Chain A
């Protein structure tokens, strides 16, 4: 981990999470540091996707603000931001029959005036990383859901493939990146995200559903617990069985897998209301 990561952070300052003129789902006051993989968790309707859209700048906060490196998100120049921050949306429909390669190449759009070293190989390398390089010349609309998701992940990675010249930290925000992926690819993707946070020093924030994936791969979690409140911190500290029961209403037994990772086995509790 390089030294400057400690300076870059994505901060939610008294951020009111909820749709415009809708109910307040949560109030978030956290600082998400770069160089760590932060997972956003919570039950349905708790505001995870709404929070993500505010972190990305697509949606105006109900109150408070989102700051990147101390500056309000809206104050950042759009083009400069695009060179160091990429977003993988939950779903993305592509008009027209672009090939997977062309879609990944679109990720390099912010760098068109300042191509990096080895620019031409970046899309191919990103596609190799997510395992879609053999689909490069296929039209993206003919790919399966999982293949499409991995293509968009490759595009998001290609967008921030190289560190910016000023050494600022890169950011990668993902809204349910594992939703369409099969088991092996889920783990592969999560491993990738953890490596990008750890080795590349990027700030990685992902909304995920699967608590066990968070336990195994995330550094920090941000739990939007509805009535149970907002909890942020290192994953093992925050994601205790007591909180899981409080937020998700599920009993869980902690176990260790054969490679030493903490995982929860869930117990169906008929006493709790469904």
Chain B
């Protein structure tokens, strides 16, 4: 039972088989291990850069000492604290860690959405979680004072975060339910529902802008532009928890999503639990993006770009695209935030603006280099 290669005289395709090594796959892509190592290195580099930069001047040589003091202070002991300690440990470090979690969550959710919709243009916003969070934030900011006075009473400063998170999840649930037909999720239907609900949320935001006072309007606008400025340790812990749970749940979705690339019918015939996979992907993405957006506002572009980039380097296997997008997203957000904090110091640019400014040129540069593979 031989093949037809020699018989039919088919010529091997030139350049198709690069010598596989630990770093490269036979197809000439970067291997999974190499890609994840690269991603990790980028995250660490970004963190080092972020730790060393900021409006407040701290000599980089001091940083390890300050970090060690911070760790020591957690379980008692004499700690000499100076203003650098406060700035680094209470302001800069939580912000750095928030950036890692936020970027990881957004990158991961973007990769999940692209796998779910079988389309590289998909973005977590399609399922409505970002616009739902924005709408809930708008309601809290504009109507909260008058109609929801119990909110700050019970939740204090967490009112806005809790509402935004709840809003994101609620709107995603609506979009998901609208996409159900006889117990199955129709992705095409969900896409249309998402578009419609996003438009509705946008209209809601427009109306809120209309009835808002000047102050509320500006507060809402600034929230929408996205920022890591409100990163207190408790918020950092919560977002890390949400993103860690999402990442753990997403690992199991990698191979099913690979099979779904053949189409849902074929994936079903391969034994993939397609409905369960779709539901899980939506839930995980909503959890990650909801938690991040509730705390930081809208940071765009990461969920769209990071997976693309990983695919350009390492191919479309979700076992590398999912973790790779998380790592790359983290590196992007931390880097963008480092720039946002220093480029107009002592003021600060909104992060959402910067992620686009940084992301787009890098993405285009990548495209140019890998033009042939697209």
Contacts and interface: CB of A to CB of B under 8 A. Distances in A.
A and B touch in the complex (CB under 8 A): yes
Interface of A: 56, 58, 78-79, 81-83, 85-87, 89, 92-99, 101-103, 106-107, 109-110, 112, 127-139, 159, 184-185, 188, 192, 195
Name the residue in A58, A107, A130, A134 with the highest tally of chain B Cβ atoms < 10 Å from its Cβ: A134
A106 B259 contact: yes
B269 A137 contact: no
Nearest to B271: A82
B5 A109 contact: no
B316 A134 contact: no
B154 interface: no
Nearest to B17: A137
Contacts of A112: 255
Closest 7 CB pairs of A and B: A82-B271, A131-B4, A96-B316, A95-B118, A137-B27, A128-B3, A110-B271
A89 B265 contact: yes
A192 B258 CA distance: 28
26 contacts: A58-B265, A78-B271, A78-B273, A81-B271, A83-B271, A85-B269, A86-B269, A87-B269, A95-B118, A95-B261, A97-B311, A97-B315, A98-B315, A98-B317, A102-B258, A107-B270, A109-B258, A110-B271, A128-B2, A128-B3, A131-B3, A135-B16, A137-B17, A137-B27, A137-B28, A139-B373
A159 B4 contact: no
Name the residue in B12, B255, B262, B373 with the highest tally of chain A Cβ atoms < 10 Å from its Cβ: B262
Name the residue in B3, B316, B373 with the highest tally of chain A Cβ atoms < 10 Å from its Cβ: B3
Nearest to B270: A109
Contacts of A136: 16-17, 26
A134 B6 CA distance: 10
Contacts of A56: 269
Given A82-B271, A97-B315, A107-B270, A129 B3 contact: yes
Interface of B: 1-5, 8, 10-13, 16-17, 26-28, 118-120, 255, 258-259, 261-263, 265-266, 268-273, 311, 315-317, 373
A102 B317 contact: yes
B8 A99 contact: no
Nearest to B274: A78
A119 B5 CA distance: 23
B4 A185 contact: yes
Nearest to B263: A92
A98 B271 contact: no
Nearest to B11: A134
A168 to B, nearest CB: 15
Contact of A184 (B4, B258, B271): B4
Contacts of B315: 97-99, 102
A185 B258 CA distance: 28
B348 to A, nearest CB: 38
Given A128-B3, A137-B17, A89 B316 contact: no
B271 A92 contact: no
Contacts of A97: 311, 315-316, 373
Nearest to A134: B12
B3 A89 contact: no
A82 B262 CA distance: 15
A137 B271 contact: no
